[in-house]
Amino acid sequence: MGIIFEQENQIFHLQTKNTSYIMKVVKNKYLSHVYWGRKILTPDVENAQLNRFIGFSAAADNEDQTYSLDFVCQEYPTGCSTDFRIPAISVLFEDGSRNTQLLYKDFQIIAGKPGLEGLPATYVEKDSDADTLMITLEDSLQKVKVILMYTVFRELDVITRSVQVVNESNARVVLEKVISANVDFETADYDFVSLPGAWGRERHIERTPLRSGVQSVESRRGASSHQNNPFIALAEKGADEARGSVYGFHFVYSGNFTAGVEVDQIFKSRAYIGLNDYDFSWLLESGEAFQAPEAVLVYSAEGFGGMSRIFHDLYRKHLVRGKFRDEPRPILVNNWEGTYFDFNEEKILDIAGEAAGLGIELFVLDDGWFGKRNSDTCSLGDWYVNTEKLPAGIGGLAEKINAYGMKFGLWFEPEMVSPDSDLYREHPDWCIHVPGRMRTECRNQLVLDLSRQEVCDYIVKAVSNILDTANIEYVKWDMNRHMTELGSAGLPAQRQKEMPHRYMLGLYQVLEQVVGSHPNVLFESCSGGGGRFDPGMLYYMPQTWTSDDTDAVERLLIQYGTSLAYPISTMGSHVSAVPNHQAGRVTSLKMRGDVAMSGNFGYELDLTKLSVEEKEIIRKQIVQYKDLRTFIQSGDMYRLASPFEGNHTAWMFRSKDGNNVFAAYFQTLSEVNPGIRRMKFTALEPDAVYEVLGEGKQYHGDELMEIGLVVDCYGDFQSQTWRLKKR
Ligand code: DGJ
C-alpha cells in the first residue's frame, strides 16, 4: 500500500486500501493517466494504456502520425499540444503566447502530508497515516514548472490532489486557469451527479447520464454558494446506495469553483475540479509560486453510501480541527426565528430560562445585538453592543445565561458592511467596488474587501474584542450576500482579477487567527443558511448551518443531499415553529424533532410560546438526542430510502462498534390503503441479537435486515424511529 514507482516502465501506482490510481510517463515524456478504481495488484499498463489514430488528430510527434494527445488519457492537460479537450491550465507568457508544454521531469515521495500555505486542506496527525507524491512537470522553453501533489491515505480510499505553479523564468507570467484535479476516463458510461440548489433549497441531488460535450457546475458568486456545491460524482450506470462504482470529486475551497466532465468525440470523458477561471487571473513575478487549493478524490465500489462514508470519515478526522472535532456538539436554542430583531435582555432571558429548564445546553443570540441594528438596514461593521437592548452588555448577558447552567453563543457577520454604519462612513473604499459604478446592495449591505490586509486586521480585532470580554463559547459566523462589481481599491489594474481569490485567502487568514486564538469556542459557519457549506469552511469551523429552511419536509431533501459528501456532525439542524417561516407548512413536532435529530440538534423558536404538552415533547426529544448524539455524530450513516425518489425517506446511523443503532422513517404525504411498508435495517451482524429499546423486543440481525420492522405511519408528515442496542 502507498506509492510505488516502477522505474523500468515509468509507472506511478498509488494504492489505498481498496483502490489503485495509476499514471505512466509515455512517449516524449508526457504524463498519462492510466487507471483509477478498484485495486489492481499487478497491472499490465500497456494493455490499459491504448493509442489509436482518430481522424483529424494532430500528431504530438511529427514522426508518428498515430500518436496524438487527443487520444491519450492525460494527467494534467495543457490543451496546447494536440489535445483539443478542456485544459487544466492556461498560462499567458510575456511574449503573448499561451502554448504550454508540460513534460515529466522528476518526482519525490515523502511520508505524511504537507499543509498548503494559507489554504484549508485535509491533514494527517501521524506521518504513517499517509504518503505524498510530488511529480514535477516542466515547460523547458518558458521555464515554468508545475508540481502535482498526490496524497494517499493509508486507511481510507482517498487521494487528495493539489497543484503548484512555479515561475522560474526571468519574466512575469499570468496564470489564467489552474485546475486542481483532472481525471481522464476511457468511456462515458457514467451518470453525472451534482448538488445544485437555491437559498432555502440547498444541495438537492441531480443525476443525469453523461452526454457529448461539457456538463459542469460552477460558482461565479464569490462563495461556494447555495446554487451549486463544489462537489460532483461520476456513477457507473445502475450504481445505487450499496452497489456500483462511484467516483466523488470535492474541492476544499469556499469561493468561485468549476467542476465538470467533458465527453469527447470518441466518448472518452474528462472530469475536472478547481478554481473557476471566470474572473480569475494571477500575475506571477519571476521566482514566485502559486498554490492551487486541494481537491479530494474518493472512489467506492459500494455505491453512493460507500462513497459518503469515506467522505464522512475523512472530514471528521482529517479536515475538521480543534477540540470540538471529537466532542459531542451541544444542543442549542437560537432566538432568530423566535424574535428576529425584536428583543431585549428580558425577552432573551425568558427564552433562555425556558431552554435551561428543558435541558438545552447552549443559548445563541443571533443578529441584532450591536450598533443600531433593529432591522437589516444598518450597522454591519459596528461590532459594539447596543446597550439600549442589552444594558448589561454581552458580558453581563452571558453571565446571566451561564447562571442558568447554559453556555452562551453569539452571531457575527464580520465580512460585511452596511452603508449606514460608522465603519462605512470612515472607510468607504473598504468594500468590494468598481470606481464610478453603482455599489449594488443586497440585503442593504456591501462586501468588505478581504483582499486588503488592513480590512482583515480590522475584522480580527473587532471580533476578538467581543470574544475576549465575555464568556462566549460558540460563534455563528454568517455571510449574507454574494459579490458584485468585482474590484479592489487595494490592487493595481493588472491584478484586479486576483481579487476574488485574494478575498478567500484573506478570509482564511482571518479565520485562522480568530479561531486559532479562541480554541475553546465552537464556531459554526453560515451563509444565509447553507450558502457556504464546503470543505474549506469546515477546516476552520467544525459545523455549518445547513439551511435557513427549517421545514421538516424540505429538510429531508436538504439533509439527504448534503449527506452525500458531508458528515452529520457538520450539519446544524433545528426544530422551528409552525407554520414554518420559509415554507408555510405545518408539520408535527415529532417529525420536526426526528428530522432535526439527524444532525446537530437544536431549536429555533420562542420557547415561551409553547404549550405544556409541547414542552413535554421537547423535554423528551432532548433526553433522546443526548442518548443518540455520540453515535449519530461520529458513527456510520446509511441512506435507505430517498426523498428524491418518492414519498418516503429513511436513514440509519450505526455506532462504529456496531452496538448502537438509530433509524428514522418519514412519510411525506398520507397514503390511503397503502401496501405494507417495512424498515429494513442494514449493516447489522446477522446472528447478533438486537433489542428495540422502548419496545422490549429482541430480534436477530438477519431478521431485522431481511424481514424488517413494520412501519406504522398514518397521515401527512409522519415519522417513526427505532433505537436498537446489540445484546
Ligand atoms: C441568515 C442566517 O442564515 C439566519 O440564520 C440568521 O442568522 C440571519 N442571517 C440573521 O440576519
pLDDT above 70 for 311: yes
pLDDT above 90 for 43: no
pLDDT at 1: 66
336-373 pLDDT, tens digit each: 999 999 999 999 999 999 999 999 999 999 999 999 99
Query: What whole-number distance in Å separates Cα of residue 73 and Cα of residue 75?
Result: 7
In the numeric block, the cell 514535477 is attached to 136
pLDDT at 44: 78
**How much of the chain exceeds pLDDT 70, in percent?**
99
Ligand 1 atom with least separation from CA of 604:
5
The closest alpha carbon to 245, from 186, 315, 189, belongs to 189
Pocket of ligand 1 from Cβ distances under 6 Å: 336, 366-367, 411, 478, 480, 526, 528-529, 545, 548
pLDDT above 90 for 54: no
Cell numbers describing residue 512: 485562522
List Cβ neighbours of 267 (8 Å cut-off, separation of 6 or more): 187, 188, 212
pLDDT above 90 for 230: yes
Estimate to the nearest angstrom the gap between the alpha carbon of 194 and the chain centroid. Answer: 13
- Tell me the pLDDT band of 80, cut-offs 50, 70 and 90: confident
Residue nearest to atom 10 of ligand 1 (CA): 367
Mean pLDDT of 605-613: 98
205-225 pLDDT, tens digit each: 999 999 999 999 999 999 999
Mutate to test the pocket of ligand 1, among 369, 545, 549 (most ligand atoms within 8 A of CB): 545
DSSP state at residue 127:
G
pLDDT at 52: 74
264-280 pLDDT, tens digit each: 999 999 999 999 999 99
Is 478 annotated as catalytic? yes
Is 83 annotated as catalytic? no
Q: Which region, left, alpha or beta, applies to residue 28 given φ > 0 means left and ψ of -120 to 50 means alpha?
A: left
Q: Give pTM, 2 decimals.
A: 0.98
The closest alpha carbon to 417, from 369, 382, 469, belongs to 382
Q: In this structure, are residues 31 and 25 in contact, taking their beta carbons and an 8 Å threshold?
A: yes
φ, ψ for residue 618, nearest 5 deg: -65, -40
Of 129, 139, 478, 594, catalytic: 478
pLDDT above 70 for 48: no
Q: In this structure, are residues 88 and 76 in contact, taking their beta carbons and an 8 Å threshold?
A: yes
What is the H or E stretch that residue 543 is in? Answer: strand 543-545
